[in-house]
Structures are given as C-alpha cells and as structure tokens.
C-alpha cells in the first residue's frame, strides 16, 4: 500500500488557519498612522489578514497617508488597498476573506488575542517616550518599529525608522533614540509643524491638500485661532472635531511646491514597510528550522 506522509509542526492552528480563508494568518499592527498603514498594505499583499488598532494617545494628522479615518467610515484607498472599521473581533473573518481590504478598530490588543495565536504583531505607534511594551511571546513574530525596541529583548526583530536609517533591520541590539528635532522636508524641519499648547477640541473647515500661506488661519483649537506656520500645502491636519491633547502635532505644511506630497505611501514609510515584511519572512524561516516536525507513515 502506498505510504502517505502527514506532516505538521509543533505550532498549533489559530481560528483563522482553520477558517479556510484566502488570508489565513492574522497580523495585528498597533497604530493607525502613515507608517502603520504602509506596513498594513505590505503585509496584506504578503497574504496576511491585517487589523490596525487605534492608539488614542497619538493623534494622526497625515490622514491621506493613513487608514485612520476608516474609524469614521472615511478612510482613503492606499495603493489599491481599502480599510473597513470593525466593532468586534469576529468581524475580522469577513475582512480576512478580502484580498484588497484591511481592518481598522478601536479594539485593544488583548481583545484580539482571544482569537488564538496571532501570526504577527507589529508595533508601529512610533513611541517617542514612556515605558516600552514587551511584545515578545505574544505572537509567533513580534516586530518593533522605531525608538525603544531591542531585538531579542522586548521584540523578536526591530526596524529603524529614523531618516537615513529607515528600514534597517536589527536582529540584535537596540534601535536609535528619537532625534532632537523633526527630519527636514524641503529643507524645513520643526518650523513646518504646529503643536497644541493645551488640550482642546479642534475645528477646521480645510482639508489635507489645501494650499495655505503663512499666517492664514487654518482652524481653531478651543476657539483660539491657529495659523499656518509657513507657505505650502497641508500635508497633515487633525480631523475636524477631534479632541486634542497638549503637546502633539496639529498641523503640518509641506513647503515643496509642486513636489509636495500629501497622499499615499512616501519613501520613508515604504522602506520601513518593506523591511517589516523582510523581518517577518526571516523570523518565519528561522522558526521553521527550529520547530520539530512529526511524521506519520500509514501502510
């Protein structure tokens, strides 16, 4: 009688792997900013079902580069990938069956862990300060983006995000700390941003992509006028009606004229997203070599 070999790894199957869906492995991306969204696009293309989780402590202003506004049923299409808001973990199964869609949710990581073993967790919240989470062990592959992550420490692999090193994959060691000032865009650094001096409700009638001039009022924070810091195009703008904490970015103006870009995936985000997929592939290859395989022969 012909011998039939049945192989399986020591790793168990999650609910997604047993659902018979076209995307059978779940990747959770922490954050809904432009970096998180670029990572979600690339992971989706790599065959993962992707869920982005909203971080209420970090307002998103580059909204045409991000899936953040899907939380308000108003998210952009990014390189042919759309985003849909979900209210419960069970709704992920519907999103997982779509080749060109990712999920965005206010559910926390602990609420998604009930689905079973996650394939990938990527922390793309771009921490600037505070206590860093320990992700290692929460999923088969954990990846930390930006300052504060240590490969084989609080995550399996870390990816640099600072300009000049964006996309460098660290299999060991700690990522570089946050720089003292924002990177240059068209030769302009911190001067292109407006930060909130105090917490308050933000109101604006403008949208990202609008042409503005220095001194022109672009909105009001708790009734106080906020002016454009320089001439250019609105690249970042907090969503109208948002409650803003103190000390965060509210407005960003791109000074580059016709070269200004306010939508899609920019070069830095693309490099980080590509590096994230490479890191996932490396971890998977390493795990396949490490995990025992059991064979059963039937005569």
Per residue in 189-221, pLDDT (tens digit) is 999 999 999 999 999 999 999 999 999 999 999
pLDDT at 258 over 80: yes
- Placement of tokens 């059991």 in the chain: 294
- Placement of tokens 């490479």 in the chain: 278
- Predicted confidence band at 293 (pLDDT cuts at 50, 70, 90)? low
Alpha helices (H) along 84-212: 92-96, 109-112
Q: What is the pLDDT, as a whole number, of residue 24?
A: 55
Q: Which helix (H) or strand (E) holds 60?
A: none
Contact 38, 270 (CB under 8 A): yes
Contact 140, 118 (CB under 8 A): yes
Domain spanning 190-255: CATH 2.40.50.100:
yes
Residue among 150, 148, 102, 141 at smallest CA distance from 121: 141
Size of the chain in residues: 299
| Mean pLDDT rounded to a whole number for the chain | 87
Q: What is the pLDDT, as a whole number, of residue 175?
A: 95
Q: What is the mean pLDDT of residues 127-135?
A: 77
pLDDT at 141 over 70: yes
pLDDT at 265 over 90: yes
Contact 96, 4 (CB under 8 A): no
Q: What is the mean pLDDT of residues 241-265?
A: 95
Q: What is the pLDDT, as a whole number, of residue 56?
A: 86
Residue among 263, 273, 242, 269 at smallest CA distance from 56: 242
Can you read off the two tokens belonging to residue 182?
Answer: 């924002």
Cβ neighbourhood burial of 220 (10 Å; 0-12, 13-18, 19+): middle
Q: How far apart are CA 280 and CA 43, in angstroms?
A: 9
Query: Is pLDDT larger for residue 286 or for residue 13?
Result: 286
Q: What is the pLDDT, as a whole number, of residue 294?
A: 44
Domain ranges of the chain: 23-180+266-298, 190-255
- Predicted confidence band at 295 (pLDDT cuts at 50, 70, 90)? very low
Q: How many CA atoms lie within 13 A of 10 on its CB side?
A: 8
Q: Which CATH architecture has domain 23-180+266-298?
A: 3-Layer(aba) Sandwich (3.40)
Q: How far apart are CA 80 and CA 46, in angstroms?
A: 14
pTM higher than 0.85 for the full model?
yes
Q: Which helix (H) or strand (E) holds 288?
A: helix 267-290
Q: What is the pLDDT, as a whole number, of residue 292?
A: 59
Pairing between strand 101-105 and 157-159?
A: unpaired
* pLDDT tens per residue, range 78-128: 999 999 999 988 888 787 778 899 999 999 999 988 887 889 999 999 887
pLDDT at 17 over 90: no
Contact 190, 209 (CB under 8 A): no
pLDDT at 21 over 90: no
- Predicted confidence band at 129 (pLDDT cuts at 50, 70, 90)? low
Q: What is the mean pLDDT of residues 156-168?
A: 94
Q: What is the pLDDT, as a whole number, of residue 296?
A: 44
């Amino acid at each position: 009688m012909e011998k039939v070999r049945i192989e399986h790894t020591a790793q168990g199957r999650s609910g997604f792997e047993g659902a018979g869906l076209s995307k059978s492995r779940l990747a959770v991306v922490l954050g809904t900013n432009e970096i998180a969204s670029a990572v979600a696009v690339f992971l989706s293309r790599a065959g993962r079902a992707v869920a982005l989780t909203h971080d209420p402590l970090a307002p998103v202003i580059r909204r045409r580069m991000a899936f953040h506004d899907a939380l308000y049923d108003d998210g952009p299409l990014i390189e042919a990938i759309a985003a849909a808001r979900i209210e419960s973990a069970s709704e992920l199964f519907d999103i997982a069956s779509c080749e060109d869609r990712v999920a965005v949710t206010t559910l926390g990581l602990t609420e998604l862990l009930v689905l079973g073993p996650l394939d990938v967790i990527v922390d793309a919240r771009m921490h600037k300060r505070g206590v860093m989470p320990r992700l290692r062990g929460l999923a088969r592959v954990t990846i930390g983006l930006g300052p504060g992550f240590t490969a084989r420490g609080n995550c399996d692999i870390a990816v640099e995000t600072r300009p000049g090193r964006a996309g460098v994959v660290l299999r060991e060691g700690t990522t570089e700390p946050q720089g003292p000032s924002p990177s240059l865009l068209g030769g302009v650094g911190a001067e292109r941003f407006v930060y909130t001096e105090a917490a308050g409700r933000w109101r604006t009638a403008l949208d990202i992509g609008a042409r503005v001039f220095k001194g022109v009022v672009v909105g009001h924070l708790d009734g106080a006028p906020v002016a454009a810091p320089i001439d250019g195009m609105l690249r970042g703008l907090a969503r109208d009606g948002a409650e803003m904490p103190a000390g965060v970015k509210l407005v960003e103006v791109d000074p580059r004229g016709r070269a200004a870009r306010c939508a899609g995936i920019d070069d830095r985000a693309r490099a980080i997203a590509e590096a994230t997929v490479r890191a996932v592939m490396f971890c998977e290859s390493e795990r396949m070599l490490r995990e025992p395989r059991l064979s059963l022969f039937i005569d």
